[in-house]
């Protein structure tokens, strides 16, 4: 479905083009965070850096794990491990929508052939104590990006507001390559498919997520992460505390996949993760508050 | 020229479709309020919206407000000097600026008219700051401040032109100008607007149809035409028309096809998937069956005629429908009885146990309603079975995805596993009636389950004292009560609806519901006031007969006689006495009439022949009128007085056998 005569972009070339584009816009090109997480928003470069007044512009790929979305490699669209391309711009620039549309053009989407739409979708992450307004961006009816103006993070007003773009890389690539099954995606242009890289991974990890993972260890892990988070908060190392919140969140997702958390317990576990994440954000704010206030008088007001 | 047309455009990033109608109304309201405060009267006001702009045109706006002369009355000229000094201080004038009239000082201030341009320049920022969006946000560098401007999405431009002159204003760093933007993809760069006169045309030239009504018309007619061209009929959906018009500035409906194999999935699922997730219209074939076609609405006139758009949308729909088919097939693998076991993991209410607990109560009650013959011709075993399975679809994948399909999917799954039709229908329809206009079930098993489910909800929440108060009804108990009333009365079910608070709650709901049918609430009160009536069918029959009766001349007069008797009895005290005297003729006639009417009314009420009961009362009308005409109740003879009061009391009691007439108004 590319709109040029050249072969459509491979997944990796698409990422490289996005890196080049956002790098040119002044974004830091970061690497994925080395922890298991459910969404790019959990990356400290988004969550923690959205706090406070300092400008911050970054782009990175973040592998995401959603254990309950695993389908043993049998579903053409659903994966328990996939990639998000995340851009965070603070403060949100005036021309953020235009920049985003330019980024679609660089990966080969012509807006006079494809129907690009901004459809209301308010974003909320109870676990992060965060919410924002924005859209899901549709390309010919398919959601390809979540576009959000963060209003709160960790329970704090975002001052200034950060703009966050989350591209679903596999979906976009499937679209650009005209492929109906994610495993048929060209990972590169040298004959390696997404399936070659990830199909076996999906099979094994789906089985582990749903059937194998030892629930006692998961429960124990959750408890330990919770404890470690509190110890870190006591020691005033909020970044370390936040890592434990990420860990607890993922362990909770695994416990969900294992079907051992009842409906009633679910809310209580989510509340516990939220407390860890919020506590970390709070400690992070507290640690830099004076420094920020000195540098940004309007922020202190 | 002393009047001109005014154009205001507020441009921003995409406004949610569902908020646009409210925003148009709010913009007009706030604008009128500002004009009103300034004393400006506009001609016609038009408000338009697209996803990216709100526009308002006010015709014939006077270019200046009226000059006004304000007069303040001061002291009399003869008043002491201090009074005048005080008045001068207050008005800030000197004595020679005052005017004297009839011996009184007046301060007259001439307020010159203000230029409308100035009024608008102040009004626009005020409107923007006061705008009541359901949800609004901050954005950009300015949002570092706590008092940053809020708008539904970032506000990017203001066009404000009075006649052909710019109304200069600024809000949140955005300055008004002549420039706006055309279609996001069909036009690049700014467009310069001359004024209200060329606004819509200039935008149209840049692929923006600013009038939402026109876009809605386009979506409606072109979607329908696209279906027709394919030999199909569009399933009309006004909600989708408005939503698609709210998502586009240049709507282009396009028809696509999906794989016919998906038609195995229940049509409601396909429709919902297409509608809710993708905002597509669906089509039927000539036989009225769901067709494998959809109509999406693009926001561009694509260079390839829309081929890529249709293809892309087809794929998205196919993926959605594969998910739906996957759910449908997965769910069918597990019998409803096995699904129902999972209900024990869902809390219904913390004080009322799980959904499984509720289901057990409903099953017992449904079976009882059948075995007692309250729901006639209903097999108790089927009622129990249907009730036990009625909530099982809540834990299916499909209902997890589309909660609005609850009940309906249960019905499909029940049929797929070969359960009796009566059971499948009952599972499907047991939430009915949902709203005022919804059908009331009549199939016996369905009636039993629908009634048991709602009765259980109502009784359970009343038992834990969770009753609706004022506007708060978190468990939708009013709706449940209304459903019960309609199930009982429209199916003629003879049963006790409840007692105490619950019965009073039913009485209230019944009054609200029957008002629509023209039944007087005071008559319902008059019957309820007798006490002991918890059978809504009998109650309504009596109310209907009563309403017919009080509308007749006999009824009106009897009511008057009743009120007179009741008033006398209220005032007078007496010791009941035997009539140890020869009664006067009218007195004797009333006694004879009561002797005849009492057993008649009583017998008719017992036989539930309320028309006959009313006729028995009617027979008292002439005798009571004659009695009041000819007989002195307050006779000097204490025995006569007591005896006559006794007759009136008997009369009142006879009337009360039918209804408490003291509750009847008029």
Per-residue pLDDT tens for B374-386?
999 999 999 999 9
Rg of chain B on CA atoms, in Å: 37
Is A140 in CB contact (< 8 Å) with chain B? yes
Q: In whole angstroms, how far apart are CA A286 and each of A43, A51, A141, A233, A273?
A: 20, 11, 43, 11, 20
Cβ distance B308 to A119 less than 8 Å, yes or no, reads no
> Rounded to whole angstroms, how far apart are CA atoms B43 and B40?
10
Q: In whole angstroms, how far apart are CA B451 and each of B307, B362, B503?
A: 52, 9, 16
Is A129 in CB contact (< 8 Å) with chain B? no
User: Which residues 258-317 in chain B show a CB within 8 A of chain A?
Assistant: 278, 280, 296, 298-300, 302-304, 308-309, 311-313, 315-317
Q: Which of B15, B17, B140, B322 to mutate to test the interface with A (most CBs of A within 10 A)?
A: B140
Residue of B131, B128, B112 lying closest to B120 (CA atoms): B128
pLDDT band at A77 (very low <50, low <70, confident <90, very high): confident
Question: Is 50 exceeded by the pLDDT of residue A2?
Answer: no
A51: region left, alpha or beta (phi > 0 left; psi from -120 to 50 alpha)? beta
User: Which residues 546-605 in chain B show a CB within 8 A of chain A?
Assistant: none
Non-local CB neighbours of B267 within 8 Å, separated by 6+ positions? B290
The burial of B553, by beta-carbon neighbours within 10 Å (0-12 exposed, 13-18 middle, 19 or more buried), is given as exposed
Question: B304 contacts in A (CB within 8 Å)?
Answer: 113
pLDDT band at B177 (very low <50, low <70, confident <90, very high): very high
pLDDT band at B91 (very low <50, low <70, confident <90, very high): confident
Question: A263 contacts in B (CB within 8 Å)?
Answer: 345-347
Question: Is 60 exceeded by the pLDDT of residue A140?
Answer: yes
Question: Is 80 exceeded by the pLDDT of residue A59?
Answer: yes
At A1 the pLDDT is 47
Shortest Cα distance, chain B CAs vs residue A121, angstroms: 9
The 10s digit of each residue's pLDDT in B471-516 is 888 888 999 999 999 999 999 999 998 888 999 999 999 998 898 8
Q: Which residues of B360-398 are buried (b: 16+ CB within 10 A; e: fewer)?
A: bbbbebbbbbbbeebbeebbbebbbbbbbbbbbbbbbbb
Cβ distance A141 to B185 less than 8 Å, yes or no, reads no
Cβ distance B302 to A115 less than 8 Å, yes or no, reads yes
Question: A157 contacts in B (CB within 8 Å)?
Answer: 146
Residue entry with tokens 């600013």? B210
Is A156 in CB contact (< 8 Å) with chain B? no
Residue of B532, B526, B522, B516 lying closest to B482 (CA atoms): B516
pLDDT band at A3 (very low <50, low <70, confident <90, very high): very low
At A263 the pLDDT is 65
What DSSP designation does B663 have? Answer: G
Question: Is 50 exceeded by the pLDDT of residue A300?
Answer: yes
CB pairs < 8 Å spanning A and B: 129
The 10s digit of each residue's pLDDT in B104-158 is 999 888 888 899 999 999 999 999 999 999 999 999 999 999 899 999 999 999 9
Question: B322 contacts in A (CB within 8 Å)?
Answer: 76
Cβ distance B312 to A140 less than 8 Å, yes or no, reads yes
Across A173-191, average pLDDT:
94
Is B330 in CB contact (< 8 Å) with chain A? no
Chain B CA closest to residue A293: B144
At B1 the pLDDT is 54
Across B629-643, average pLDDT:
88
Question: A262 contacts in B (CB within 8 Å)?
Answer: 345
Q: Which contiguous run of DSSP H or E holds residue B176?
A: strand B174-177
Q: Which of A120, A149, A152, A170 to mutate to test the interface with B (most CBs of B within 10 A)?
A: A120
Is B14 in CB contact (< 8 Å) with chain A? yes
pLDDT band at A56 (very low <50, low <70, confident <90, very high): very high
Other C-beta atoms closer than 10 Å to the C-beta of B194 total 14
Mean pLDDT of chain B: 93
Partner-chain residue, chosen from B17, B144, B346, that has the shortest CB–CB distance to A159: B144
pLDDT band at B319 (very low <50, low <70, confident <90, very high): confident
Q: In whole angstroms, how far apart are CA B365 and each of A103, B369, B499?
A: 62, 6, 17
Strands A163-168 and A142-153: antiparallel
Strands B174-177 and B155-162: parallel
Would you say B620 and B597 are in contact if contact means Cβ atoms under 8 Å apart?
A: yes
Q: Which residues of B196-226 are buried (b: 16+ CB within 10 A; e: fewer)?
A: bebbbebbeebbbbbbbeebbebbbebbbeb
Residue of A126, A124, A129 lying closest to A267 (CA atoms): A126
Residue entry with tokens 């998910």? B323
Residue entry with tokens 């009106």? B556
Shortest Cα distance, chain A CAs vs residue B186, angstroms: 7
At B574 the pLDDT is 80
The 10s digit of each residue's pLDDT in B360-375 is 999 999 999 999 999 9
Question: Is 70 exceeded by the pLDDT of residue B534?
Answer: yes
Across A265-291, average pLDDT:
92
Across B207-236, average pLDDT:
97
Shortest Cα distance, chain A CAs vs residue B182, angstroms: 14
* H helical segments located in A149-260: 169-177, 194-207, 215-234, 238-257
At A260 the pLDDT is 84
Question: Is 80 exceeded by the pLDDT of residue B254?
Answer: yes
SS3 per-residue string spanning B399-462 = HHHCHHHCCHHHHHHHHHCCCCHHHHHHHHHCCCCCCCCCCCCCCHHHHHHHHHHHHHHHHHHH
Its pTM stands at 0.80
> Rounded to whole angstroms, how far apart are CA atoms A133 and B152?
8
Other C-beta atoms closer than 10 Å to the C-beta of B485 total 22
Across B47-76, average pLDDT:
93
Residue of A299, A273, A169, A102 lying closest to B146 (CA atoms): A299
Question: Is 80 exceeded by the pLDDT of residue B332?
Answer: yes
Cβ distance B309 to A132 less than 8 Å, yes or no, reads no
CA dihedral of residues B174, A124, A83, B308 (deg, nearest 10): -60
Cβ distance B14 to A118 less than 8 Å, yes or no, reads yes
Q: What is the ipTM of this complex?
A: 0.94
Shortest Cα distance, chain A CAs vs residue B96, angstroms: 51
Question: Is 60 exceeded by the pLDDT of residue B559?
Answer: yes
Question: B146 contacts in A (CB within 8 Å)?
Answer: 157, 159, 301
Would you say B438 and B364 are in contact if contact means Cβ atoms under 8 Å apart?
A: no
User: Which residues 67-86 in chain A show a CB within 8 A of chain B?
Assistant: 75-77
Partner-chain residue, chosen from A117, A142, A158, that has the shortest CB–CB distance to B316: A142
Question: Is 80 exceeded by the pLDDT of residue A262?
Answer: no
């Amino acid at each position: 479905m590319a709109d040029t005569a050249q072969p459509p972009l491979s997944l990796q070339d698409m990422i490289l083009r996005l890196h080049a584009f956002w790098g040119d816009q002044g974004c830091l090109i970061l690497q994925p965070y080395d922890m298991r997480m459910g969404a790019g928003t959990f990356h400290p470069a988004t969550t923690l850096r959205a706090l406070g007044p300092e400008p911050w512009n970054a782009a990175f790929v973040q592998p995401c794990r959603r254990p309950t979305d695993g389908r043993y490699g049998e579903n053409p669209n659903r994966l328990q491990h996939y990639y998000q391309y995340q851009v965070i711009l603070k403060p949100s620039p005036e021309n953020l929508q235009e920049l985003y549309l330019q980024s679609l053009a660089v990966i080969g989407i012509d807006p006079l052939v494809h129907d690009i739409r901004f459809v209301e979708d308010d974003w909320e992450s109870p676990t992060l104590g965060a919410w924002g307004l924005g859209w899901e961006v549709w390309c010919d009816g398919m959601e390809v990006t979540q576009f959000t103006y963060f209003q709160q993070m960790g329970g704090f007003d975002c001052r200034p507001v950060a703009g966050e773009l989350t591209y679903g890389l596999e979906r976009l690539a499937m679209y650009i390559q005209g492929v109906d099954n994610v495993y048929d995606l060209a990972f590169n242009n040298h004959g390696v498919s997404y399936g070659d890289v990830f199909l076996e991974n999906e099979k094994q990890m789906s089985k582990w997520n749903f059937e194998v993972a030892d629930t006692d260890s998961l429960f124990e892990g959750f408890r330990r992460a919770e404890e470690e988070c509190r110890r870190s908060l006591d020691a005033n190392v909020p970044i370390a505390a936040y890592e434990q919140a990420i860990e607890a969140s993922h362990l909770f997702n695994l416990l969900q996949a294992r079907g051992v958390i009842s409906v009633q317990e679910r809310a209580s576990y989510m509340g516990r993760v939220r407390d860890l994440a919020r506590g970390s954000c709070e400690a992070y704010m507290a640690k830099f508050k004076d420094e920020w206030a000195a540098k940004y008088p309007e922020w202190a007001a | 020229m002393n009047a001109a047309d005014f154009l205001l455009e507020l441009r921003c990033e995409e406004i949610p479709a569902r908020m646009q109608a409210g925003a148009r109304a709010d913009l007009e309201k706030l604008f009128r309020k500002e004009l009103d405060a300034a004393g400006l009267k506009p001609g016609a006001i038009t408000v338009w919206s697209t996803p990216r702009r709100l526009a308002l045109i006010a015709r014939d706006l006077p270019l200046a407000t009226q000059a006004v002369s304000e007069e303040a009355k001061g002291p009399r000229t003869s008043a002491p000097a201090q009074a005048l000094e005080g008045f001068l201080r207050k008005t800030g004038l000197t004595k020679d600026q005052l005017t004297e009239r009839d011996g009184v000082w007046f301060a007259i201030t001439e307020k010159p008219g203000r230029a409308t341009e100035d009024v608008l320049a102040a009004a626009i920022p005020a409107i923007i700051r006061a705008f009541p969006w359901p949800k609004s946000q901050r954005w950009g560098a300015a949002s570092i401040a706590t008092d940053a401007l809020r708008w539904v999405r970032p506000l990017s431009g203001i066009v404000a032109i009075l006649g052909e002159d710019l109304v200069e204003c600024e809000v949140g760093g955005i300055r008004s100008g002549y420039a706006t933007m055309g279609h996001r993809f069909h036009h690049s760069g700014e467009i310069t607007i001359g004024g209200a006169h060329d606004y819509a045309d200039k935008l149209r030239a840049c692929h923006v149809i600013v009038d939402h009504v026109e876009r809605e018309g386009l979506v409606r007619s072109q979607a329908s035409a696209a279906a027709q061209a394919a030999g199909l009929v569009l399933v009309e959906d006004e909600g989708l028309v408005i939503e698609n018009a709210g998502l586009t500035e240049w709507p282009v409906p396009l028809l696509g096809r999906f794989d016919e194999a998906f038609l195995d999935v229940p049509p409601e699922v396909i429709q919902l998937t297409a509608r809710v997730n993708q905002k597509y219209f669906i089509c039927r074939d000539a036989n009225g069956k769901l067709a494998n076609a959809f109509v999406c609405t693009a926001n561009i006139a694509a260079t390839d005629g829309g081929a890529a758009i249709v293809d892309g949308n087809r794929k998205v729909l196919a993926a959605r429908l594969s998910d739906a088919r996957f759910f449908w097939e997965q769910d069918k693998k597990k019998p409803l009885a096995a699904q129902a076991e999972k209900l024990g993991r869902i809390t219904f209410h913390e004080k009322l146990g799980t959904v499984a607990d509720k289901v057990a109560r409903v099953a017992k009650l449904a079976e009882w309603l059948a075995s007692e013959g309250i729901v006639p011709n209903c097999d108790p075993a089927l009622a129990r079975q249907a009730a036990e399975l009625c909530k099982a679809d809540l834990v299916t994948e499909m209902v997890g995805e589309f909660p609005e399909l609850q009940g309906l999917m249960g019905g499909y799954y029940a049929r797929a596993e070969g359960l009796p039709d009566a059971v499948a229908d009952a599972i499907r329809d047991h939430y009915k009636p949902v709203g005022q206009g919804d059908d009331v079930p009549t199939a016996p098993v369905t009636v039993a389950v629908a009634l048991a489910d709602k009765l259980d909800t109502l009784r359970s929440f009343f038992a834990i004292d969770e009753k609706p108060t004022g506007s708060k009804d978190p468990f939708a108990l009013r709706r449940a009560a209304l459903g019960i009333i309609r199930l009982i009365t429209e199916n003629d079910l003879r049963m006790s609806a409840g007692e105490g608070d619950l019965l009073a709650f039913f009485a209230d709901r019944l009054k609200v519901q029957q008002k629509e049918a023209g039944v007087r609430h005071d008559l319902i009160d008059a019957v309820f006031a007798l006490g002991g009536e918890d059978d809504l069918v009998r109650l309504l029959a009596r109310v209907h007969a009563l309403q017919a009766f009080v509308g007749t001349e006999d009824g009106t007069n009897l009511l008057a006689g009743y009120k007179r008797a009741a008033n006398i009895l209220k005032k007078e005290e007496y010791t009941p006495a035997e009539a140890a005297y020869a009664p006067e003729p009218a007195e004797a006639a009333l006694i004879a009439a009561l002797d005849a009417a009492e057993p008649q009314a009583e017998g008719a009420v017992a036989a539930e022949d309320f028309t006959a009961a009313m006729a028995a009362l009617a027979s008292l009308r002439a005798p009571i009128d004659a009695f009041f005409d000819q007989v002195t109740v307050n006779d000097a003879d204490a025995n006569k007085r007591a005896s006559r009061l006794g007759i009136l009391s008997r009369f009142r009691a006879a009337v009360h056998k039918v209804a408490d007439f003291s509750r009847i108004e008029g």
